[in-house]
Amino acid sequence: MKPYEKYKESRIPWVDELPVAWEEFRLRYLGALDAGGVDKKINEGESLYKSVHYMDVYRGSLRNIFDSPNYLIVSATPQKRDKCILRKGDVLFTTSSETPNDIGHSCVIGEDLNDTLFGYHLLRLRVTDKIDFKFRKYLFGANYLRTWFSYRAVGMTRYGISNIDFADARIMIPPIDEQKKISNYLDQKVSQIDDLIQNKQELIDLLKEQRISVICSAVTKGIDSTAEMKDSGNEWLGYIPSHWRVVPAKALFAQSKETRHETDVQLTASQKYGIISQEDYMERQNYKIVLADKGLENWKHVEPNDFIISLRSFQGGLEISYIPGCITWHYIVLKPKAGVEPEYFKWLFKSPRYIQALQRTANFIRDGQDLRFSNFVQVPLPLIPMDEQKEIAEYLNKETARIDSIIADITEQIEKLKEYRQSVISEVVTGKVAVE
């Protein structure tokens, strides 16, 4: 592919020139803009509708989106319905995000939707006939346009862009016949890249399943494939090596009620990072939280190798702490007894089979309800020789690290493919190269 024969100077920020036959417009002149989307409420007396919301657009960035049974159900008045109804060809933009660089994701409504509205934190552009339908997803997802939205964003913990700045954004438009050639070319090229991405994502999914299987097998059956097995008598453990025993959880762990030490740092229980200091958590998440300065006398002291029970343990397992500190009194601190190798139980408590067994100790979880020590003690645990616990832990540390390394490599390949996908789109929609 070669550049166009002639170019002219561009007034579009971050674009130096554009092909002579291409035109420039502000976004406001390419259709009708509307930001008055519906909220997520259902009000009595109003009719119910499907609603395309923020995450639907974010996940559908640079694509056409279609009808789905998963869209949120909301209510609206007849006037609101008429104002927010979506039609084939409408373009939706996200207008806010936690980072400026994430503003302006867009998607195109790919078909006529039956009584489906657009939600708040979105902007709808009802496009004129100047823009070919198939070309829209590429045109409005262009990098230079997203860069403009990012540049104009304002905020602190959350960033947003005004409707005026959206409307003022400059955009380049090829002649309609060229739009069709570009979209046909990009549809084919992007589809090839997306197939490669999908294949790699499926491989990651298989590796994650393998990782789970390795963990579940090792923590409940050991790593000696020749070991004689017996029925544990417990549904969640199933068959276990015949020399293992099953004991009540309180035989291996005690509930610690030791209160905060004067020098303790405040800790956070996070499924993403484990148990870390709140300052470390703020740094990793890149936002500030207010450290507690009252009621600290009720906070609980935590030692390395203690385990933390929180409400989220129902979804993600118990967390081990590798550092000392204190944690809010809402959490339960478990202290290992003799015969416990913490690294083995780190894997056991994170295994899906254990988490499912923990979930079965309660009929339901209300918002704000804590997981209690009484739940924990209802799930019996395996009692294994210490040297074998250490062997299993070392095996899982190595095997999961190996799988995680492969997943990281494939994930990096996917990111490079996504960057390549974006560069292919950008080169064509900005006129750097001509489609034959």
pLDDT in tens, the chain (436 residues): 899 999 999 999 989 999 999 999 999 999 999 998 999 999 999 999 999 999 999 999 989 999 999 999 999 999 999 999 999 999 999 999 988 988 999 999 999 888 999 998 999 999 988 899 999 999 999 999 999 999 999 998 789 999 999 999 999 999 999 999 999 999 999 999 999 999 999 999 999 999 999 999 999 999 999 999 999 999 999 999 999 999 999 999 999 999 999 999 999 888 788 899 988 888 887 766 656 667 788 899 999 999 999 866 667 789 999 999 999 988 999 999 999 999 999 999 999 999 999 988 876 554 445 678 999 999 999 999 999 999 999 999 999 999 999 999 999 999 999 999 999 999 999 999 999 8
Distance between CA 212 and CA 392 in Å, rounded?
A: 15
Instruction: Return the half-sphere exposure (C-beta side, CA atoms, 13 A cut-off) of residue 146.
Output: 22
**Residue 324 corresponds to which amino acid?**
P
Convert 149-201 into a string of H (helix), E (strand) and C (coil). HHHHCEECCCEECCHHHHHHCEEEECCHHHHHHHHHHHHHHHHHHHHHHHHHH
* pLDDT at site 98: 86
What's the whole-model pTM score?
0.82
Query: In 3D, which of 95, 73, 77 has the Cα closest to residue 164?
Result: 95
What is the set of domains in the chain, with CATH numbers? 7-173 (3.90.220.20), 245-383 (3.90.220.20)
**Residue 256 corresponds to which amino acid?**
S
Phi, psi of 306 (to 5 degrees): -75, 155
Query: In 3D, which of 396, 405, 393, 353 has the Cα closest to residue 207?
Result: 405
| SS3 category, 316 | helix
* pLDDT at site 128: 85
* pLDDT at site 363: 60
What are the CA-CA distances from residue 281 to residues 266, 287, 300, 368 (Å)? 11, 9, 19, 22
What would the DSSP string read from start to end of 195-264? HHHHHHHHHHHHHHHHHHHHHHHHHHH-S-TT--EEE-S-TTT-EEETT-EEE-GGGTEEEE-PBPPTTP
Q: Which residues of 403-431 are buried (b: 16+ CB within 10 A; e: fewer)?
A: beeebeebeeebeeeeeebbebbeebbbb
**Residue 277 corresponds to which amino acid?**
S
Name the strand (E) or helix (H) holding 82: helix 78-84
C-beta separation of 361 from 375 below 8 A: yes
| H helices, E strands: number in the chain | 12, 27
Query: In 3D, which of 53, 121, 117, 31 has the Cα closest to residue 80?
Result: 117
Phi, psi of 379 (to 5 degrees): -105, 110
Distance between CA 66 and CA 85 in Å, rounded?
A: 14
* pLDDT at site 362: 76
What are the CA-CA distances from residue 225 to residues 13, 229, 245, 341, 389 (Å)? 64, 10, 18, 21, 15
Query: Pairing relation of β-strands 47-52 and 116-118?
Result: parallel
* pLDDT at site 330: 85
Distance between CA 325 and CA 28 in Å, rounded?
A: 55
* pLDDT at site 25: 95
Query: In 3D, which of 191, 142, 185, 120 has the Cα closest to residue 434?
Result: 185
* pLDDT at site 416: 97
* pLDDT at site 296: 84
Distance of alpha carbon 353 from the chain centroid:
23
